[in-house]
Amino acid sequence: MNKKIASGVIVFLLILTTSLPIAIALNVNIGPLNEIENIDYKILKYDGIIGNLHVKYWTHEVNGINIQNDSILLHLSIEDENVIKYEKTWSDLDITFSDYEDLTFEPEDSIGQKLVIFPDKDDLMNFYSFFNTQDYPLICWEVWYSDGSTLLYNLDEEIIGYGVPMPIDGFSLSGWHWIPGEPDDPWKYYRTNANMWFEKWLGSTESISHPRKSTLSSYVSNPSVTLFYEIAHGDFRDFLLNDKWERYYFSTAYDDMKDRQPMRFAFIGSCNAMDETGEDTFSHSFRKGQMTDTVTIGYTEMSQDPWKYSFSWQIYLFTKMDEENTIYDSFIAACAQYPAFEPVVKFVGDETITVFNKTRTVMPSFITNPFLLKLIKQFPIFERLINLI
């Protein structure tokens, strides 16, 4: 009887959705495509498939000068290339760009640099900081170094600011990295942001900067610890914990995990943390080699260009997880929102679980109508009925 009711609901919803006006049902919107076509100085940075979306992403660059935080984000349906999302931030600057064409600057020991423009203070993106008040729009040099540092120089080649350093191989868990005149914990707000969500989901968590190896082992080995987050200089085999140069190794993680269940969610935040995910890696050790009821997410082959999106991407990921989406769907949504970051993050594990220890209902393959799927997702009662079939 229940199956008949569920089938009747499906038929009713199909009739309802297919009877909508075609223009609404197909979400046809060619206006953004025409507008994008006529925008000058756009650089296509991403064009690919993320989840069930065709995602395109452009940045704003004039004569080799990058306008910070200017972008165009386009989500298209894979089936018919109709527009699903269109977001544009584009500055109209009264600047003679040709005045800067012949400028050159190669600081000692740098591995790369480019001229950038910050149209407004809000374009610092929680990533850049200046030592003194600046006038906007601001033209300056962004310079990268092999230790993960990003420094900002004015046109007189003086250091005026910095960006959050990448967590590459070399220093500590949530902490030590030398920045002129600044504290030694540049990733603190990454860690405390993660801890804020953990506290909401679990009620009780610990958040530590520069832990000793024995302290970290005590938390990893504790079966009540189900969510794990680290951001440190390291890779998929080890990362450095503190200024005592103590390292935490994947082999130590294997030992610490031996008598407990896999981590439900482990975020491994080193630049090469997920380059490898098989045996003898952190991903494998925190999952105990399993792919059920456990997830690892982390960075892979990180470079300085996408790194500036890392904090915004993290916030979007956790926000979607908090909405009781599956961790995988949250990961895909964050990548689709910040496609420049998609190539440098990786998901391994169970695609059906949420952070709240729930499993998503898997829709039968015969339900393909996108608007029916949307209604089903919006109203949980339909999911429960579908699950009876």
Q: For 350-380, what is each residue's pLDDT tens digit?
A: 999 999 876 544 445 444 455 555 555 455 4
pLDDT at 83 over 90: yes
Give residue-wise pLDDT tens across range 162-216.
988 877 432 223 434 444 445 567 788 898 899 889 888 887 778 888 888 998 9
How many angstroms separate the Cα of 340 from the Cα of each of 25, 58, 101, 143, 227? 30, 9, 26, 19, 26
- Average pLDDT of the segment spanning 37-66: 95
Contact criterion met (CB below 8 Å) for 232 and 186: no
Which pLDDT score is estimated for 242?
A: 75
Higher local confidence (pLDDT), 377 or 111: 111
Q: What is the pLDDT of residue 343?
A: 95
User: DSSP characters for 243-271?
Assistant: TT--EEEHHHHHHHHTTSPPPSEEEEEST
What number is the average pLDDT over the span 34-48?
A: 94
* Residue range 297-315: mean pLDDT, rounded: 92
Q: For 130-158, what is each residue's pLDDT tens digit?
A: 989 999 999 999 999 887 889 999 999 99
Q: What is the mean pLDDT of residues 242-263?
A: 91
Q: Is the pLDDT of residue 228 over 70?
A: yes
Backbone phi, then psi, for 257, in 5-degree steps?
-90, -5
Q: What average pLDDT does range 57-65 have in this prediction?
A: 94
